[in-house]
Structure 1
Amino acid sequence: MDWGRAKSVLIYSFLLLNLLLCYQLWGDLRDQAGASLDFTSLSAAAQQVMEEKEIRVLSVIPAATPELPNLSYRYSAEPDAPPVALEKPVDSRLIFTFSELTEALKGEIPDIGDYRFDSLESEAGRFVLHPLVQGKWPLFSVRLELIYNDQKIVAYRKPQIQLDPAGGQDEEKQKILPAAKALGSLIEKYLPAGSAVKESSLGYYGELFNSEAQVAAPMWRFMLEDGRTYYVNGISADIISPKTAE
């Protein structure tokens, strides 16, 4: 055996491995550049309230502030309508690999690839997905529910929804309120002592009315560890908590 040559191959292999690891680290840092756990992005008043009321923020605070329009769409659904049974149950573990889930269910739900799985709104017996606006922003107020039993997806409940084909592009765009400012306002005015913010994400939200024509606004969604959800309007900064009197 040519040990000198073998040694050279090992050295080059280790160099290549180090380069790959460095590239992966760079990619991870790049992905994290848009979000930060640095609470100094919050106002001094919000930080003081956090300390006084022992409020914790467990999720990253997104730094992106895109320009988004309001969204017009058509929606209709019967709240008490029974779910549609699948002809062939699907292994529910596929929910953790969305591409596989899409492939398994696209025969019965052709547009399932236009939805995003929401682990925080999902609960025992049902997985929740939201339609995506412009392929990126979830419409939080509309839900596609996948019903499962004995680790098998056995049925689904799908809303009748028609999004603006332009994704609201014809509407006037406005720069979105920074997440740090929206969260700071929420901390100062509404969050009870001991709260823990589990998730911060941007999407669309609008109350659903008995009318097919609906309007949703860009909203920051903040979900607490105890299950409560708050929405902060990305334009007006109004705060909504759907399941409470606030």
Structure 2
Amino acid sequence: MDWSRTKTILIWAFLLLDLFLLYQVYVTRISQWNDKEVAQSEKWNTELYLNQQNITLDTEVPQDTPEMSNLDAEYIGINPISLHEISGLQATVEKMALAAKLDPPMQIRGQLNPQELLRQIGPRLIYSDQYVADPYQPNQSRLLYWQVYDKMPVFVAPLEMYLNNGTLLGYRQTFFHLRKQQGERQVISGYAALRSLVDKQIISPGERIENVSLGYYGSYDADIQTLVPVWRVVHDGKWHFVNAITGALERPMVTQR
């Protein structure tokens, strides 16, 4: 065997491999830079468009456009018998939800903070670690939380906490068993969702956009349903959901409050 020739071939092979890997890194970096430039351009153009329409953007719009798939959501309920073992809690089953009354009401410690309140009530709430506070909280007597899947809010699985004069009176909770469907697709941007609502005249001149959040949503009331990725847009207290894959407007929430 000609070791000198073999050594030369190996050197060239490793050199070509290094060049190929460097090229892949270069292409990836260029793609990332282009994506950032496109996102920044879309942000500026949309903000200019909103300003021209006399629409105030009073919130941060998430920049991420991850790949997401639909979810299967099955309502399995919460067994009130298990809650009866928790002292100071009276629980009843409602349609697609469990209502719990604290007896006696719980005094809130410290300054009211939705996430801290969730921690305080944790021992009296099943699955408390699977909910997150909604960043949009217009009513301080009713704090709103959502069940999450992969850190994304599920806009059909609310947890509502009822307060009065610094005390927590009770809560109403919906919980789903969630399963991910196959077939991920990249979502449209939050700015594209905003532009769609303005173009459809759903957001009118003079209005204020208060929150833009990415999550999951299903517009009908059933034991088993398919949830789709959506952008939730809150404007002047009104909620609208834009399909984050197709850009279509989803039907209003049946139980929206």
Specify if TM > 0.5: yes
Match of 1:125 in 2: 141
Q: What code does the residue aligned with 1:146 have?
A: M
Match of 2:172 in 1: 157
Paired residue for 2:233, among 213, 222, 226? Answer: 222
Q: Structure 2, unaligned stretches of length 5 or more?
A: 1-35, 78-92
Are the counterparts in 2 of residues 63 and 178 from structure 1 also a CA contact under 8 Å?
A: yes
Q: Offset of 1:78 from its aligned partner?
A: 3.0
Match of 2:218 in 1: 206
Match of 1:30 in 2: none
Looking at structure 2, the residues matched to 126 and 97 of structure 1 have their Cα atoms a distance apart, in angstroms, of 10
Kindly indicate whether residue 254 of structure 2 is the aligned counterpart of residue 239 of structure 1. no
Match of 2:159 in 1: 144
Match of 1:5 in 2: none
* Counterparts in 2 of 1:81 and 1:62: CA distance versus 1, 3 Å: closer
Are the counterparts in 1 of residues 97 and 173 from structure 2 also a CA contact under 8 Å?
A: no
* Counterparts in 2 of 1:179 and 1:82: CA distance versus 1, 3 Å: closer
CA RMSD of aligned residues (A): 3.0
Q: Offset of 1:204 from its aligned partner?
A: 0.7
SS in 1 for 2:199: helix
Q: Which runs of 4+ in 1 moved over 6 A?
A: none
Match of 1:193 in 2: 205
For residues 185-206 of structure 1, the C-alpha deviation after alignment (integer angstroms, 9 at most, x for no partner) is 2122221111111111111111
Paired residue for 1:96, among 93, 113, 116? Answer: 113
Match of 1:41 in 2: 42
Q: Structure 1, unaligned stretches of length 5 or more?
A: 1-34
Looking at structure 2, the residues matched to 143 and 128 of structure 1 have their Cα atoms a distance apart, in angstroms, of 7
Are the counterparts in 2 of residues 70 and 217 from structure 1 also a CA contact under 8 Å?
A: yes
* Counterparts in 2 of 1:48 and 1:154: CA distance versus 1, 3 Å: closer
Looking at structure 2, the residues matched to 221 and 103 of structure 1 have their Cα atoms a distance apart, in angstroms, of 26
Are the counterparts in 1 of residues 143 and 160 from structure 2 also a CA contact under 8 Å?
A: yes
Q: What code does the residue aligned with 1:212 have?
A: D
TM-score for both structures, normalised by structure 1: 0.70
Identity of aligned residues (%): 24
Q: What code does the residue aligned with 1:120 have?
A: Y
* Counterparts in 2 of 1:49 and 1:82: CA distance versus 1, 3 Å: same
Are the counterparts in 2 of residues 74 and 213 from structure 1 also a CA contact under 8 Å?
A: yes
SS in 2 for 1:187: helix
* Counterparts in 2 of 1:95 and 1:215: CA distance versus 1, 3 Å: farther
For residues 46-91 of structure 1, the C-alpha deviation after alignment (integer angstroms, 9 at most, x for no partner) is 5675344311212222221100010111126735978311244333
For residues 197-217 of structure 1, the C-alpha deviation after alignment (integer angstroms, 9 at most, x for no partner) is 1111111111132x2101111
Looking at structure 1, the residues matched to 156 and 132 of structure 2 have their Cα atoms a distance apart, in angstroms, of 13
Q: Offset of 1:144 from its aligned partner?
A: 0.9
SS in 2 for 1:240: coil
SS in 2 for 1:123: coil
For residues 21-67 of structure 1, the C-alpha deviation after alignment (integer angstroms, 9 at most, x for no partner) is xxxxxxxxxxxxxx9xx9842585x5675344311212222221100
